[in-house]
Amino acid sequence: MLQLPQIYAENIRRWLPELLHFALTTLLIAALSFVVAVFIGLVLALMRTSRSPVSGGVAAGYIEVCRGLPIVVLLYIVYFAPPQLLPDIGWKWFTTLAGAVLGLGIHGGAILAEVFRSGIEALHKGQREAALSLGMTPAKATAYIILPQAARIVLPPVGNYAIGLLKDTSLCSLIGANELMNDAKSIAFADYQPMAVFVLVAGIYFAMSYPLSLCVRYMEARMRHGRS
């Protein structure tokens, strides 16, 4: 019979500091790919809401492809394909970490683009028209009138995306990025304690994602009551 408390009592001092160290790497991957995703998502959302059919079509195609691919497949493509297709550029800098951030960011960009678009489209058309009639340029109207208001609307769904992203960083272990999940695997198999280690790691992921989901719920509740 498995004696989890006893196993933890014996090993936790060795396991926990190491796992928490790699949990920081996980948070770093999540934070960096979040930034990449927000950037890509914003550009795509503006392209989609623009009147030009070309940029709208490009953005729609990007979103459909990236949302249709499993994240793992996207990570494998982003990490393994470019060095082979363009071997002449130096790829020394393209570590597993860079591949992970880029892959998750490209995927997240497609998700956030839809979130941002729905936020922009939720605003009344009069907002833009009023800004334009006051003599603002379309770019200024977007930057000072539309986006600040849309930002409040999209905050809860963006938070939900961030929770998903945090969990999806575990997939980076499959391309060999050295984060929490990868380290958990090496500890689990080196010490022959898979159950104890993976349950502990599940607890660490939960401890990171649960506060985030409480925040999102709080924001959603505020939204529902018309304050934000």
Question: Which chain residues interact with another protein by CB under 8 A?
Answer: 1-2, 64-65, 67-74, 76-77, 80-82, 84-85, 167-171, 173-174, 181, 184-185, 188, 193-196, 198-199, 201-202, 205-206, 209-210, 213
Measured from the CB atom, the residue of 39 and 76 that comes closer to another protein is 76
State in angstroms the smallest separation of the CB of 38 from another protein: 22
Nearest CA to 185 among 15, 17, 71, 25? 15
Contact at 8 Å (CB) between 61 and 139?
no
d(CA 178, CA 14): 18
Q: Residue 86 region, left (φ>0) first, then alpha (ψ -120 to 50), else beta?
A: beta
Question: Tokens in use for 15?
Answer: 């396991």
Nearer to another protein, 81 or 143 (CB): 81
Task: Indicate the residue among 142 and 193 with the shorter CB distance to another protein.
Answer: 193
| Closest CB 124 distance from another protein, rounded Å | 20
Q: Nearest distance from residue 13's CB to another protein, in Å? A: 21
Taking the least distance from each CB to another protein, the nearer of 151 and 202 is 202
Question: What are the residues whose beta carbons fall under 8 Å from the beta carbon of 69, sequence distance 6 or more?
Answer: 77, 107
